């Protein structure tokens, strides 16, 4: 019996991609416009000083994603649904609004990423952002969401060039290794803003929703849990390896020469050791693809989560009439960010970083829901958290809260 027929290349490609698990996908999608910008700035403005944060949050990312997988396997529904069924309507509305703010922020970063990528070639954002927004809407509405998502995911493996680049630059790996385990902190606003953004772009509220929905949609079974757990850990490791190399690439090039990133072409220069003249084009391509990937996934993920929480009809097979809320949310999630990006003279780089700060600041609240769920025996049965998971999660939550509090205090008293 032949189970896989002789089929066209794209079906085979889809099959191969379908084997890639949620951990790697979610992790890869983490390296979006906000991600690459934040990591570039972390390296360009602060050298390797923030590597220890990256080192620690690799564990946080692994643990939080694993919790998402576990909740998905046990409850067989998305995070929004679990929150609704266990916390009532008020807290659900609270969680959903937080998620909406964070996601709108991230989508804004994605469209800013599109604008920034084309600004390298001198194209106006007033042209490229509306066109790409239309493209996103059109493909979501008419085309296949899943295929498109996979194609962009494939492209986003582009970030591997940063790893190669990292070796070409020949940075001081000894210094980098030392920075990984030496906590350094500057009690200044730029440092804290970048640090919270670094956390917020690595562990995201939407990532928490995404991984759980993914497990549910794929119909993964409890017996896959052990493999799935390692896959998630591996994904967290891989994504942060890439982040690590972005930081040391920018640290060894931009930081060394005291170049501050004010637009995308500055960030692109970090790739010059590898790509030379092509660095700008390569960077623009990578930024564009990563931005589009996020711009596809996030509005849809937001709409699905809202519909799950409030019981509205969802899915692209619904009609305009019955699915108007679903489509409405998607539209709003595209239109609002586009308007923000099109505000004249707004700094694209700042949008990309500050949106990650919003994610970082809101993250602890979403994680609190996750923690409450995963430690509830009525929901999780025997699959509640082990102490190690709780310790790492609580440290993450407390760490972000402390950093946010410090940022608030410093912005009040004015930084030195």
Q: Site for another protein (CB under 8 A): which residue of 317, 344, 377, 414?
A: 317
C-beta of 297: minimal distance to another protein in Å?
19
User: Is 221 an interacting residue with respect to another protein (CB under 8 A)?
Assistant: yes
Q: Which is nearer to another protein, 90 or 386 (CB)?
A: 90
Q: Site for another protein (CB under 8 A): which residue of 10, 15, 88, 144?
A: 88
Dist. CA 301–CA 324, nearest whole Å:
16
Q: For the packed helices 22-30 and 51-75, what is the interaxial angle rounded to 10 degrees?
A: 140
Q: Which is nearer to another protein, 183 or 315 (CB)?
A: 315
Contact predicate 361/408, CB 8 Å: no
Stretch that binds another protein, among 41-49, 229-237, 305-313, 333-341 (CB under 8 A): 305-313
C-beta of 9: minimal distance to another protein in Å?
16
Q: Let me know the angle formed at the C-alpha of 76 by 75 and 80, rounded to the nearest 5 degrees.
A: 80
Q: Site for another protein (CB under 8 A): which residue of 167, 310, 365, 415?
A: 310
User: Is 172 an interacting residue with respect to another protein (CB under 8 A)?
Assistant: no
Q: Which is nearer to another protein, 147 or 280 (CB)?
A: 147
Q: For the packed helices 173-181 and 51-75, what is the interaxial angle rounded to 10 degrees?
A: 60
User: Is 219 an interacting residue with respect to another protein (CB under 8 A)?
Assistant: yes
User: Is 5 an interacting residue with respect to another protein (CB under 8 A)?
Assistant: yes
Q: Which is nearer to another protein, 51 or 73 (CB)?
A: 73
C-beta of 399: minimal distance to another protein in Å?
32
User: Is 84 an interacting residue with respect to another protein (CB under 8 A)?
Assistant: yes
User: Is 266 an interacting residue with respect to another protein (CB under 8 A)?
Assistant: no
Q: Site for another protein (CB under 8 A): which residue of 12, 85, 160, 408?
A: 85
Any idea of the CA torsion for 269, 270, 271, 272, to the nearest 10 degrees? 50
Stretch that binds another protein, among 77-85, 113-121, 158-166, 225-233 (CB under 8 A): 77-85
Q: Site for another protein (CB under 8 A): which residue of 93, 139, 379, 395?
A: 93
C-beta of 76: minimal distance to another protein in Å?
4
Dist. CA 349–CA 172, nearest whole Å:
27
Q: Which is nearer to another protein, 71 or 203 (CB)?
A: 71
DSSP secondary structure string for all residues of 289-301 = HHHHHHHHHHHHH
DSSP secondary structure string for all residues of 285-332 = HHHHHHHHHHHHHHHHHHHHHHHHHHT---STTS-TTTTHHHHHHHHH
Q: Which is nearer to another protein, 277 or 319 (CB)?
A: 319
Q: Which is nearer to another protein, 11 or 181 (CB)?
A: 11
Question: Measuring CA to CA, how many Å separate 324 from each of 268, 282, 302, 310?
Answer: 41, 39, 14, 14
Stretch that binds another protein, among 37-45, 148-156, 213-221, 401-409 (CB under 8 A): 213-221
User: Is 143 an interacting residue with respect to another protein (CB under 8 A)?
Assistant: no
C-beta of 403: minimal distance to another protein in Å?
31
Tokens of 156: 């986003």
Dist. CA 300–CA 37, nearest whole Å:
23
Contact predicate 393/63, CB 8 Å: yes
Contact predicate 64/367, CB 8 Å: yes
Stretch that binds another protein, among 109-117, 176-184, 308-316, 380-388 (CB under 8 A): 308-316
Tokens of 91: 């807290």
Contact predicate 42/50, CB 8 Å: yes
Tell me the CB-side half-sphere exposure of residue 149, using CA atoms within 13 A.
Answer: 20
Q: Site for another protein (CB under 8 A): which residue of 12, 76, 260, 350?
A: 76
3-state SS class at 180: helix
Dist. CA 31–CA 278, nearest whole Å:
21
Tokens of 174: 């000894």
Q: Which residues bind another protein (CB under 8 A)?
A: 1-3, 5, 75-77, 81, 84-85, 88-90, 92-93, 216, 219, 221, 309-311, 313, 317
């Amino acid at each position: 019996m032949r189970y896989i027929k002789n089929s066209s290349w794209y079906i085979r490609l889809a099959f191969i991609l379908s084997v890639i698990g949620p951990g790697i996908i979610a992790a890869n999608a983490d390296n979006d416009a906000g991600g690459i910008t934040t990591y570039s700035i972390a390296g360009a403005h602060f050298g390797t000083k923030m590597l220890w944060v990256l080192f620690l949050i690799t564990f946080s990312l692994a643990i939080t994603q694993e919790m998402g997988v576990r909740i998905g396997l046990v409850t067989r529904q998305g995070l929004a649904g679990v929150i609704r069924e266990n916390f009532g309507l008020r807290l659900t509305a609270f969680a959903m609004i937080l998620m909406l703010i964070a996601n709108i922020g991230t989508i804004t970063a994605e469209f800013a990423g599109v604008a920034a990528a084309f600004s390298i070639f001198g194209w106006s954002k007033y042209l490229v952002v509306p066109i790409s927004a239309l493209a996103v809407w059109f493909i979501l509405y008419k085309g296949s969401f899943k295929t498109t998502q996979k194609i962009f995911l494939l492209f986003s493996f582009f970030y591997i060039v940063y790893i190669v680049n990292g070796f070409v630059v020949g940075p001081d790996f000894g210094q980098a290794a030392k920075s990984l385990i030496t906590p350094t902190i500057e009690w200044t606003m730029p440092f804290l803003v970048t640090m919270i953004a670094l956390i917020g772009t690595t562990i995201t509220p939407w990532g928490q929703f995404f991984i759980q929905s993914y497990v549910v949609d794929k119909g993964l079974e409890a017996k896959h849990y052990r493999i799935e757990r390692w896959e998630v850990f591996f994904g967290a490791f891989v994504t942060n390896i890439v982040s690590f190399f972005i930081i040391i690439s920018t640290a060894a090039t931009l930081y060394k020469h005291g170049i501050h990133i004010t637009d995308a072409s500055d960030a692109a220069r970090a790739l010059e050791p590898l790509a030379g003249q092509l660095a700008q084009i390569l960077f623009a391509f990578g930024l564009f693809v990563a931005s589009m990937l996020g711009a596809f996934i996030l509005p849809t993920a937001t709409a699905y989560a809202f519909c799950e929480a409030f019981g509205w009809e969802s899915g692209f097979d619904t009609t305009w009439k019955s699915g108007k809320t679903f489509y409405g949310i998607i539209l709003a999630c595209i239109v609002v960010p586009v308007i923000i990006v099109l505000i004249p003279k707004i700094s694209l780089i700042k949008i990309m970083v500050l949106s990650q700060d919003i994610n970082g600041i809101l993250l602890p609240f979403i994680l609190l829901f996750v923690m409450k769920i995963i430690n509830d025996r009525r929901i999780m049965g025997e699959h509640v958290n082990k102490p190690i998971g709780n310790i790492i999660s609580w440290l993450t939550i407390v760490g972000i809260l402390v950093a946010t509090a410090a940022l608030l205090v410093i912005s009040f008293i004015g930084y030195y």
